[in-house]
Every structure is written in structure tokens, then in C-alpha cells.
Structure 1
Amino acid sequence: MTSAPTTAASASWRARFTGGGAVRLESLVVLAVLCVAMAISSSAFLSVSNILNILLSTSVFGVLAIGMTFVISSAGIDLSVGSMLALSGVVGAMLTSDLDLPWWMGILGCLAAGAATGAVNGFLITKGAIPPFIVTLGMLGVARGIALVLSNGVSIYGLPPEIVWLGQGRPFGVPVPVIVLLLTALVAHLLLAHTRFGVHAQVIGDNEGAARAMGVRVERMKVLIYTLSGLLSGLAGLLFAARINSGEPTAGLSYELTAITATILGGTNLFGGRGSVVGTLIGALIMGVLQNGLNLLAVRPFYQQIAIGAVLILAVWLDRINSREGWRR
């Protein structure tokens, strides 16, 4: 039987963390200011086609960032999402192009490859007692290497039309990847903010000892969280491959940096205990607007990497300031 103190603690934690949809005001202000600045700098920024381009480019790393939200809110980190994206796309392309299997096998292959790789991350972190930073840093190289070996270092072209439609289709003028991103965000928001799984993920990030006292199976939860991150990486890999009509072993380079930045910008605490899928969407849009605006202004890609890195440092710094102010209050 569950003791009364444990039940009360569980109710207290649930009351604290079911507000997972909260959006940090600073994120909305940054997005608004950035949009105004880009609109002033370039007359093409507010065109319908450019707005759709922003949403389309945001969709892939936005899906990655949603998975990262669960990982970071549980006080973990996943540096392998970009490599898992590439591996998933290559697996899906091999199944349909090289092995001539049905298109739906390609979709399942992408998702399964991502989920399996994520599960390996979770298993090594829990059973091997290895820090998430080390495990996922190692998997960054392993997954990328496997993708290069499977493809012999070259792109695998010729995906089925059904899969290509997932990346290039535009029902009612809206790109399919954008629709997939919004549906994924909706499901993830409900999962994080309104289910036991999401509550427990954030409790683990805030205080793992308290989570164990509540009866949370911490090791099992961590494996599931990293599996979810891998699954969403597989979905992002599917969208990326469908968009360019090929499995690309070098896809997703530095996407882990963009996904982490978007997650932190959205209000998820880098050190765990707080996460917001809605906020992550805002953060992903900030990154999409920034990259698009720099492209319109003909800023060289090298400087764009500097800008993304600087934004990440700034986001973490602001998050630490907010955390200190919260503790003072």
C-alpha cells in the first residue's frame, strides 16, 4: 500500500509540474523583436512564401527540440540527435531504394532506427552508470559512422513518392513537415504537461531522490525518455530525407546545438526540473527566424554558426539569472 506522505508528495509534485505549457515572456519578446528587426532589414521577410520557408526550415530541428525538451527537463542531455537523424534517414532510404521494400517499411525503419539508438543511450546511461554527456557524445560519432558505413559515404536517392510527399507535399498550401511539427508538439505538450510520464520526467530532473521516494522507477523512466528522443530524431530524419528525396549520411550536422538552443530559449531549465513544449516551439521559431534573416541579409554561413553559439550561451546565462531570482523569491 502507498503511504499517506508519499501520496501527498505525489500530489504536490503533480500540482507543481502540470503547468508544462507555460511560456517564458522573454522568449515571446525576443521573437517579436527579432521579427520586427528582420522585417525592417529586408522587405522580403514578411512575404507569405518566406514565412512558409521559415516554418518549413524550423520543422526538422523543431521536432528534435521537442524530444530534447523531455531529456533536458529530466536533467539529461542528448548530443546525438543530429547523428540519429542522419542514421534514420539512411536506414529508411536503404529499405525502400536499395532493398525495394514498401514505402511504409521505410517510414517504420526511420522511426525504429531512431528509437533503438535512443534506447541504447538510455540503457548505457542507466545500467552502465555513465554520464549522459559522455554516452550521447560517443553515440554522436557511432551513429554518424554507422550511417556512413551503410551508405558508403554517399547519398541514397530515389525514395518512394509517398515518402517524398511527407517532405514536399503542401495540402492547402501548408508544407506537410509543418503540420507534422504542430501535431507532434500537441501530443508532446499533452504528454509533458498532463500525464504521469511528463510529471515524473520533470520530478527526476528537479530531485531524483524525491522521485525515488515517490516510487518513480527512475532507471526505467530515463530509458523511456531517451527512447522518445531517439524516436523523434527518427521522425526528424524521415522529414529531412523526404524533403531532399534522399538518405544523406552527413545530414543533421550541428543540429544538436540548434535543438538545445531552441529548448533553452523556450524556458526549459538546462539543469532539469522544468520543461515547456510550447516554449520550445517559440524557441525553435526564434532560431528559424534568426537563420532565415541572416540568409536574407546574405550573412556568410560561418558567421551564422557564431550567432547560434552566442545565442546558446546567452540563453543559458539568462536561464541561470532567472533561476537565482526564483530562489530569492
Structure 2
Amino acid sequence: MSIENHTRSLWAQVGQFDVRRRVREEPAGLISRAILVGAIALALAVATDGFATSANLLNVMRQASLMFLLASGLTLVILSGGFDLSIAANMTLSACLAAGAMKSGGSPVLAVATALLCGTSIGLLNGLAVTFLRLPPFLATYGMLWVVQGLAFHYMGGNEIFGFPEGFRALGTGFWWHVPLPVYMMLFVLIGGTVVTACLNFGREIYAIGANAEAARLSGIPVRRRRIAVYTISGLMAGIAAIVFLARVNAADSAMGEPILLPAIAAILIGGASLFGGTGSLLGTVFGCVILALVIDGMNLLNLNANWQPLVVGTVLLIAVLADALGRRHAEKAR
């Protein structure tokens, strides 16, 4: 194929790409996930006595919202065709630094600012490594994971920081109109993020980059700047998740983020995002988080050994990856 024909082909792909068309095609997938949520909830209500209580349902929503705050930024990265393995380590270091700021006499406001600055800076570094150093996203963020985790281990020195002001703890444990505050945060991020991805040029450009970065570049989209932006947003959301998680558990240690990385990735894929980019939504990620929160809650109510949880989440993740690969292969054959 000549350069002229290749360029014409890429321009054609840009012309065919339409976020609004994708939004119209997505409801079927979202409806199927909503049905799955209802089926799991119904099964747990029948199988257990404690599921259908208001306290338990609110706890499920709180857990789902905490997971979503971390997964939301990663969703944007995946939509753009990238990946970020450092989000959980980022959350850990941000939480540890925030806890240290409060314990050294700083105010909760300083702690929040510290977590946001730490998380955003790490996300920015990831974006620069992927765009200007041209490192593969998996390797760049995997390396960052170990660097950030090592900094957290060094900072904490094997110790734990606990006991924070009640005003700060309210961010993770407080209620408004009988609904946990993290659920409102999830809704705020969901609505704001959906407006950005579905209605603004920024969102259209993210989808276009994920679908075909070269075609997006030829259409005039600033691919580097957009990629740096989504990694920075991912870091910011890790900082926000650190604040809420720290306020929720009232303690910080150097391994606090490890258990949440795999569920966050699994929730995004369950929600319909593709590891290859260009497909998915924040609403889908919400459904993925709720599904995983229900599964984990059900295992706890059924008194299953906690060691089974990683096995179940890992199995769900493998199924989601397999479904993504098969769906992509089917779509390519249909073209």
C-alpha cells in the first residue's frame, strides 16, 4: 500500500469514528450489566438473611464507590489505549503522606492537598514517560508501581499511622440524607466524567486516540497532550481515592492499596471497556464496581474463606479479558 493510500485509509477511519454512534450502541451492554446486577442481588437476597438490609446495601454502595473512585481515572487511560498499573501504589503513597501530614501537626486540609498533589504528580510522570520517552504503558507504569511502592515502604518504615480527626474521617464514613458521602462523590465523578467523555471534544478525542492513535494524529488531535492529560487525571483520582480510603479505614500502612488493584481493573473490563482502547464508559465501570462489590459482599455473608476472594476476582478478570478478545476478533471478521 502506498503512503497516499495508507493516509487515505487512516483519514477514512477518522471519518467513520463517531462517539455519538458509540453512545447509541452502548445501551444494550449497559442493560445486560444492569440485569446482571439485579440477578446477583436477587440470588443473594434469597440465599442469605442479611443481604437485603439497608445497612448492608449501603455498605455495598460504599465499597463500590471507593472502587470506582480509583477505577474512574484508569478507565480514561484505557479508553485512550493506555494502561496504568501504578494506581494502587499511587493511592498508597498518597494516603501515607496525607496521614504523615496530619500526624505531624498538619490540618486535614493540608493532608488532602498533599494526597492530591502526590497522586497528580505521579500520574503526570506516567504520562510523560509514555509520551515523550515512548515507553510501553504497561512497562512504564509497572516500573512506576515499584518505585512508588518502594517510597511508601521507606516512608512508613514498617509502621502504621492511625487515628485522624473526626472531620477528616467524615469523608469516608459520613452520611448525607442517610446515604454515604463516597456515593455522592461517585455520582459527581460519574456525571462530570460522562459529560466530558460523551459531550465534549476532549472525550471524543480520547475515544479516537484509543481507536487509532495514528488516525487521530493525522486528524489534528494533540495525541501527546491528551495522553498526558488522562494519565494525570488517573493520578488525581488515585489521590482522591487515597483520601476517602484513608478516612474510611482510619489508618495508613505501606500495603493498604495492594488488595484493590485487581478488583479495579476487573471492574473496568466487566463494565465493557476494551484493553485495546476506544471502547467503554464510566457508567459501565460503575456497573462493574457494583457487580464486584455484590460478589465480595455475598462471599462474606456466606462465610466463605477470605482467601477465595482473589481467586474469584481473578477468574472474573480472566473471563472479562477473554470476552474482550473474542468480541474484538468477531468485530474484525464482521468488517
Normalising TM by the smaller chain, what interval?
over 0.9
Check the 8 A contact 1:261/1:315 in 2, yes or no.
Answer: yes
Q: CA deviation at 1:246?
A: 2.6
Out of 178, 196, 204, the position equivalent to 2:183 is: 178
Identify the residue that residue 30 of structure 1 maps to in structure 2.
Answer: 36
Identify the residue that residue 327 of structure 2 maps to in structure 1.
Answer: 322
Pair 1:57-2:63 in alignment = yes
Q: Which amino acid aligns with 1:165?
A: A
CA–CA separation in structure 2 for the residues paired with 1:288 and 1:199: 30
Alignment TM-score, normalising by the size of structure 2: 0.91
What per-residue deviation string (whole Å, max 9, x for no partner) do you get for residues 279-327 of structure 1?
1100100000000000111111211110000001111222233333434
Identify the residue that residue 132 of structure 1 maps to in structure 2.
Answer: 137
Identify the residue that residue 221 of structure 2 maps to in structure 1.
Answer: 216
CA–CA separation in structure 1 for the residues paired with 2:73 and 2:25: 14
Identify the residue that residue 47 of structure 1 maps to in structure 2.
Answer: 53
Provide the aligned C-alpha RMSD in A: 2.2
CA–CA separation in structure 2 for the residues paired with 1:187 and 1:70: 13
Identify the residue that residue 278 of structure 2 maps to in structure 1.
Answer: 273
Out of 65, 73, 76, the position equivalent to 1:70 is: 76
Consecutive unaligned residues in structure 2, runs of 5 or more: 1-9
Identify the residue that residue 304 of structure 1 maps to in structure 2.
Answer: 309
Q: CA deviation at 1:247?
A: 2.6
Check the 8 A contact 1:61/1:259 in 2, yes or no.
Answer: yes
Q: Which amino acid aligns with 1:125?
A: V
Q: Which amino acid aligns with 1:108?
A: A
Out of 242, 250, 268, the position equivalent to 1:245 is: 250
Identity %: 32
CA–CA separation in structure 2 for the residues paired with 1:268 and 1:17: 12
Q: Which amino acid aligns with 1:255?
A: I
Q: Secondary structure at the match of 1:134?
A: helix
Consecutive unaligned residues in structure 1, runs of 5 or more: none
Check the 8 A contact 2:19/2:207 in 1, yes or no.
Answer: no
Out of 279, 285, 307, the position equivalent to 2:290 is: 285
Check the 8 A contact 1:68/1:77 in 2, yes or no.
Answer: yes
What per-residue deviation string (whole Å, max 9, x for no partner) do you get for residues 92-147 of structure 1?
1112221x222211111111111101111111111111111111111111111111
Out of 100, 106, 115, the position equivalent to 2:111 is: 106
Q: What count of residue pairs does the alignment treat as equivalent?
A: 324
Check the 8 A contact 1:83/1:140 in 2, yes or no.
Answer: yes
Q: CA deviation at 1:15?
A: 4.0
What per-residue deviation string (whole Å, max 9, x for no partner) do you get for residues 255-275 of structure 1?
221111111111111211112
Alignment TM-score, normalising by the size of structure 1: 0.92
Alignment of 1:55-204 (within 5 A): 55-98=61-104, 100-204=105-209
Q: CA deviation at 1:19?
A: 5.3
CA–CA separation in structure 2 for the residues paired with 1:155 and 1:108: 21
Q: CA deviation at 1:56?
A: 1.2
What per-residue deviation string (whole Å, max 9, x for no partner) do you get for residues 149-172 of structure 1?
122222222323321110111122
CA–CA separation in structure 2 for the residues paired with 1:315 and 1:326: 16
Check the 8 A contact 1:20/1:193 in 2, yes or no.
Answer: no
Check the 8 A contact 2:64/2:286 in 1, yes or no.
Answer: no
Q: Secondary structure at the match of 1:301?
A: coil
Q: CA deviation at 1:21?
A: 7.0
Alignment of 1:230-241 (within 5 A): 230-241=235-246
CA–CA separation in structure 2 for the residues paired with 1:199 and 1:22: 18
Q: Which amino acid aligns with 1:301?
A: A
Check the 8 A contact 1:20/1:277 in 2, yes or no.
Answer: no
What per-residue deviation string (whole Å, max 9, x for no partner) do you get for residues 22-65 of structure 1?
46133223222222221221121111111011111112111111
CA–CA separation in structure 2 for the residues paired with 1:205 and 1:190: 18
Check the 8 A contact 2:20/2:198 in 1, yes or no.
Answer: no
User: CA 1:299–1:8 in 2, change beyond 3 Å: closer, same or farther?
Assistant: closer
The range that moved more, 189-198 or 301-310, is 189-198
Check the 8 A contact 2:13/2:215 in 1, yes or no.
Answer: no
